[in-house]
Chains A and B, each alone.
Chain A
Amino acid sequence: MADMIEIKGLNKYFGDLHVLKDIDLTVAAGEKVVIIGPSGSGKSTLIRCVNFLEEPTSGTVSIDGTQLTRKNHLEMTRKYSSMVFQQFNLYPNMTVLGNLTLAPIKLQKKSKEEATAAAMAALKRVGLAEKAGEYPQNLSGGQQQRVAIARALVTKQPIILFDEPTSALDPEMIQEVLDVMIELAQENITMICVTHEMGFARQVADRVVFMEDGRILEVGTPEHFFENPENPRCREFLNKILH
């Protein structure tokens, strides 16, 4: 498989705080990578560097062979990646349909009819076609996150970044969102997902990345990772959350 994302020697500072330390990571096209680790370990910052929401302090992030720069990152984002956030970040002043058609109409220059048809298809996939005219604040958290996933799908980029998509949800709503993500994982989309859902990681991930204190400590298949992790910090972390 061709490399879709290539991260080399990535460092990120917030002021004096060294958040990412010499990160190297390559993700193949169509690969599903799950990033886990304690909070504050730099997981979110790492995936936010992939769509340039955070600018690397040093090192490079390349998508499909092109290095992200200040100049090209918007164009690269439009072409390659979309993102699902912990807090959903739906546009509250627009209907569900409006949320899904804004970028296709304004950025991809699609006609309203075309954008609406694509939006409805995406909403059907997440099981919310009947909510097209609703406003986000009238939906449950789980429904809002499914709409956010549909919004990420509708622009049809090859990469979707998930930043703790279930962390802000009530427990009974987590599964409906995970189900949608598991269904998505059947496709040839490149997914990087920061999550604490170990069941999801086991089921979906091609590789699991464990991060702590700004470094990648372990990378491996879910089997290797959950059954027989090499790094002691990783074992300790797994013990804490699995028992």
Chain B
Amino acid sequence: MLDGLFDARRWNITLDSMGPFWDGFLFTLQVVVVGLVISLVLGTVLGVFSTTRSRVLRAVSRVYVEFFQNTPLPVQVFFYYMAGPRVLQAITGAPSPVRISSFVIGAVGVGLYHAAYVSEVIRTGIESVPRGQMEAARSQGFSRPQAYLYIILPQTFKVILPPLCNQTLNLVKNTSVLALIAGGDLMYNADNFVSTYGYLQGYIMACVLYFVICFPLALLVQYLEKRAKRKPRAKVIPGVTPEPVKEA
């Protein structure tokens, strides 16, 4: 059976039928973008919650994170797929279950799931900022929200960017869960191809296309990790800092 992998004719047919792969690729990319936005926004909010003084907010964040980190993504996505339409029906009072597109299920699914991980990244980022920073901000008259916005969160960027990129990478791969609910994503279309033709080339092409998205992200992680260790160089501020001295 593996002989087929080296069969030139099969490769030709595969390469000639790339249309659905590209469709799936684009669909997956769109799910990634929307899912990423959801996970970053929600994850940042939850991450900030977990560092506030409010016990209620900390508890909300904790429960959310533990729930989503300790249950499998496919189970969550199946649940949205089966229960979502009925929940929407109950909320909107529609006469029949409300159909939810696989795009929405995919984006919300990976978005909510990765928000839990993003939240933990944000939390450790904030905790890495010394307490004195908040005190300095408050001694200048910044409110806590202003201090987070102007002083604390910007300082976390260096620390959190590499793990956030890692999360993005995982999010890309996890969108393949959509294949389980006939989502029209890259994995689903690749699987369709394999079922139709029986050529394993389909899976290889899917791997290649996922790799094309993920590998640059992995390189970015490495670059950001290196950059985070560098010492900042003095900035030249026109009209303020002395002209840089030219070496003879």
Contacts and interface: CB of A to CB of B under 8 A. Distances in A.
B1 interface: no
A53 B135 contact: yes
Q: Chain B interface: which size bin?
A: 20 to 34
B82 interface: no
Given A133-B236, A133-B241, A138-B232, A91 B138 contact: no
Contacts of A151: 140
B231 A103 contact: no
Interface in B212-248: 231-237, 240-242
A102 B150 contact: yes
Contacts, number: 87
Contacts of B234: 95, 133-135, 138
Interface stretch (B4-12, B91-99, B141-149): B141-149
A82 B136 CA distance: 9
Contacts of B132: 85, 87, 89
Nearest to B236: A133
A199 B13 CA distance: 89
A91 B135 contact: no
Contact of A85 (B136, B157, B233, B240): B136
A104 B178 CA distance: 51
A133 B139 contact: no
Contacts of B231: 135, 137-138
Interface in A79-126: 81-83, 85, 87, 89-93, 95, 97, 102-103, 106-107, 116, 120
Contact of A74 (B143, B150, B151, B155): B143
A132 interface: yes
A105 to B, nearest CB: 10
Q: Chain A interface: which size bin?
A: 20 to 34
Contacts of A135: 231-235
Given A53-B138, A82-B140, A132 B133 contact: no
Contact of A93 (B138, B155, B237): B155
B72 interface: no
A91 B242 contact: no
Contacts of B139: 51, 53, 77, 81-83, 85, 161
B140 A132 contact: no
Contacts of A166: none
A102 B142 CA distance: 10
B240 A97 contact: yes
A92 B157 CA distance: 12
Contact of A95 (B133, B142, B235): B235
A87 to B, nearest CB: 5
A103 B237 contact: no
Contact of B241 (A82, A92, A93, A132): A132
A170 interface: no
B228 to A, nearest CB: 12
Contact of B142 (A81, A103, A133, A138): A103
Contact of A155 (B140, B143, B232): B140
A236 interface: no
Contacts of A172: none
A127 to B, nearest CB: 15
A120 B133 CA distance: 23
A91 B140 contact: no
Given A85-B136, A106-B150, A78 B232 contact: no
Interface of B: 130, 132-133, 135-136, 138-143, 146, 150-151, 154-155, 157-158, 231-237, 240-242
Interface of A: 51, 53, 74-75, 77-78, 81-83, 85, 87, 89-93, 95, 97, 102-103, 106-107, 116, 120, 130, 132-135, 137-138, 151, 155, 161
8 nearest CB pairs, A to B: A78-B141, A89-B136, A83-B139, A133-B241, A89-B132, A135-B232, A133-B235, A77-B141
13 contacts: A51-B138, A53-B138, A77-B140, A77-B141, A85-B132, A91-B136, A91-B151, A93-B158, A107-B142, A132-B237, A137-B232, A138-B231, A138-B234
